[in-house]
Structure 1
């Protein structure tokens, strides 16, 4: 792959990643609730999940998963259930006051929870593996080392996933910093939670292709 191909690949991954979805919504919600600094944990969780999905696609596991209808169905419903659960939790948080200051132990626990939440939301989307499985071959060059190229593409995916999640976390923190009324913030949380529930229901009702 030459520099031109790398730029197109990175732009493609970035464009797809910027489209609002469960991973970006949870990063936004965490940023709004806990600030941009703690949303870094969410970004790391999202990046790790994306890295594992891209790696699975690069070593051929994507073909195995996408060719197994029953396995894909299990992953789809598990992911849908988790998205609905997250949506309900975010909706319920609209009625609670947010406490930004906490002691060290609680901060550590919160960072762990944010990381796991970001990871689980991202990893629960089995279609990401199918996307990477279809995307990677389009940019592989027969003249170079395939393993090195795939490793580079996985690294680009990880960097973009982290950056986009952190960006949405910062946007959420910025919204929090506007010191909007409690009523407006409640509506933002309820809207975000509703979008999660809608995404989960939509995923559960969608047909496998």
Structure 2
């Protein structure tokens, strides 16, 4: 069983660190709001990954085989959500980041950031495809309950842990100063990348 867990750890880690909407949002949140808030977002991203993993363990692949239109629906819904985030980010790129008056707009709460992380993961059907196909090939049939629990722990550790690292890198003062100097450009780059991911998802 240790070999199974090791294989799942490595293959999922490779998926977790690949650039995508979750990593982009984590980087941007940490740039704007600091390491702590980026870490809360990372927790939500990890929980979202666990939801996909649980769905896979309890029959997601079979469901997609029975109702392939469901995957198509998820794909277009996810693409629409990513495009919405991209447009919002692009439109507000020129807005100044006024840190001197934080009371003018309440910062997002830790719970709100966790929900944003979960929603970002659930809106992206690529994890669904990964967990419903590649992921399941490493899970032995009739696995004991403790193995399922260990697998979910690995999934959370990989996704949340990697995005905490991303948050730390992008929350450093040097990185933050560069962002403040180039806020409009950087926000539009992040928004453009999210938009491209959404379009790619819609047409793939």
TM-score normalised according to structure 1 size? 0.85
User: Aligned ranges for residues 121-136 of structure 1 at < 5 Å?
Assistant: 121-136=120-135
Q: What corresponds to 1:140 in structure 2?
A: 139
Unpaired segments of 5 or more residues in structure 2?
A: none
Q: What corresponds to 1:86 in structure 2?
A: 85
User: Aligned ranges for residues 114-125 of structure 1 at < 5 Å?
Assistant: 114-125=113-124
Q: What corresponds to 2:190 in structure 1?
A: 192
SS at match of 2:69: helix
Judging changes above 3 Å, is the alpha-carbon distance between structure 1 residues 185 and 55 closer, same or farther for their aligned structure 2 residues? same
Name which of structure 1's ranges 36-45 and 188-197 shifts more when overlaid on structure 2: 36-45
Q: What corresponds to 1:201 in structure 2?
A: 199
Q: CA deviation at 1:151?
A: 2.1
In 1, Cα distance between equivalents of 2:21 and 2:179: 25
1:63-113, CA deviations, whole angstroms, 9 ceiling, x for partnerless residues?
20354222112111111010011111222332122244635x924x44344
In 2, Cα distance between equivalents of 1:64 and 1:178: 44
Please tell me whether the aligned partners of residues 76 and 202 of structure 2 are also in contact (alpha carbons under 8 angstroms): yes
Q: CA deviation at 1:43?
A: 0.9
Please tell me whether the aligned partners of residues 94 and 187 of structure 1 are also in contact (alpha carbons under 8 angstroms): yes
1:15-72, CA deviations, whole angstroms, 9 ceiling, x for partnerless residues?
1111111111111111111111111221121111111100000011332035422211
User: Aligned ranges for residues 1-209 of structure 1 at < 5 Å?
Assistant: 1-2=1-2, 4-100=3-99, 102=102, 106-107=106-107, 109-141=108-140, 145-174=143-172, 177-180=175-178, 182-206=180-204
Name which of structure 1's ranges 43-52 and 162-171 shifts more when overlaid on structure 2: 162-171
- CA RMSD across the alignment: 2.4
Name which of structure 1's ranges 169-178 and 25-34 shifts more when overlaid on structure 2: 169-178
Count of aligned positions: 202
Q: CA deviation at 1:134?
A: 2.3
